Amino acid sequence: MNTIGIAVRLTLFGSSHGPGVGCVLDGIPPGLKVSQEQIQSLVDLRRPSKGIGTARAEEDVVQVQSGIVDGRTSGGPIHLFIQNKDTDSSKYERFRTVPRPGHADYPALIKYGEAHDIRGGGQFSGRMTAPIVAAGAIAMALLETKGVQIAAYTQSIGEVLDTEEHDFQTITTVPRRFSTRAAGPKVAALMEKEILKARSEGDSVGGSVRCLAVGLPIGVGEPFFDSLDGELAKMMFAIPAVKGVEFGAGFRASAMRGSQNNDPFEIRDGKVVTVTNNAGGVLGGLSSGMPLDLRVAFKPTASISKEQRSVDLVKKENTTLVIEGRHDPCIVPRAVVVVEAATALVLADLCVRGGFIGR
């Protein structure tokens, strides 16, 4: 349902075309300093970029309605609300009859029947990720008190793949300079081109996000089922359009030998580290002390202006569909901060659960 987390718990509400979207974030320890600006600046990173994003213009001003008093958490539930302003619901009724390929329309209509709120995707809307980012900003502030930092970037858009390794510090700053959230100027230019090409053809394009977290204590995660990787994966699949999640070498590891994939331990500067990080910072479901390294695959935006084949559910016959409206040709750049926030929420939950962060 719309609640996730045990010790730090997020509950989402709202819908794309109702009064607004928001969340309740519960379990954040009292006394954490977090300003409205901190939250807002993260949410702003999720807004569509000029040029490559949708034309829907939402200001997405986050209203902190409880749980933060005078810039400090009170220990009570934090209530965040974001008004919907620029809604245009007129074009959605048709999708009750002719579901959009690649969207939740069809199974949602079967599951919820006529009462399904199809305007803007209703409860399935990508807009539900705005409060995830807002809540994630608070989770990040909490993690930072323990030296945990999270940063993500666009690793691929369509066929353009960034194969370079990047310094963590780079990722915390560079991607914010580019509308594509790429980790460098060259790849940013190529990715932008890939997006603009798809848009010009009335099409969309997928991509992938890589997220890293450093400073995590060793042993975060609970075996057997509430593992670090399992909880992160569950959270990532909540982000609309995610189709795959992998850690470290991930799917590549399945083609490797043990002698290649095992990360040898060594002492470096008096600390136990591994020479490589094919494990992506997770061993046995627990953080290993090496950087957490996950990749998330996003499918192309389902809404495209190209004509598509669909069916008329009433007439029970084949038909075609042209989706009008304002859509992102690629949601990956906007998803980068969502992946960061989602990661932060899971890490905060597991850190509090495991006693790594006091309550």
Q: Which of 85, 110, 185, 186 binds its own copies (CB under 8 A)?
A: 110
Q: Which of 41, 66, 90, 145 binds its own copies (CB under 8 A)?
A: 66
Binding span for its own copies by CB under 8 A among 51-59, 171-179, 182-190, 296-304: 296-304
DSSP sequence for 299-358: PPPS--SS-EEEEETTTTEEEEE---S---S--HHHHHHHHHHHHHHHHHHHHHHTTSS-
Q: Which of 139, 283, 335, 344 binds its own copies (CB under 8 A)?
A: 283
Q: Tell me which amino acid residue 80 is.
A: L
Q: Which of 57, 61, 218, 322 binds its own copies (CB under 8 A)?
A: 218
Residues 120-159 that bind its own copies (CB under 8 A): 122-124, 128, 156, 158-159
269 φ, ψ (degrees, to nearest 5): 55, 40
Binding span for its own copies by CB under 8 A among 49-57, 142-150, 181-189, 282-290: 282-290
Residue 298 interacts with its own copies (CB under 8 A)? Answer: yes
| Residue 288 CB, nearest approach to its own copies (Å) | 5
Number of residues that bind its own copies (CB under 8 A): 146
| Residue 287 CB, nearest approach to its own copies (Å) | 6
Please count the residues of the chain: 359
Cα four-point dihedral sign 68, 72, 73, 74: negative
DSSP sequence for 101-141: TTSSHHHHHHHHGGG---GGGGGG-GGGHHHHHHHHHHHHH
CA distances from 303 to 84, 254, 330 (A): 20, 33, 10
Residue 350 interacts with its own copies (CB under 8 A)? Answer: no
111 φ, ψ (degrees, to nearest 5): -75, -45
Residues 222-251 that bind its own copies (CB under 8 A): 222-227, 229-231, 233-238, 240, 242-251
Residues 89-108 that bind its own copies (CB under 8 A): 99, 101-108
Q: Which of 54, 149, 179, 303 binds its own copies (CB under 8 A)?
A: 303
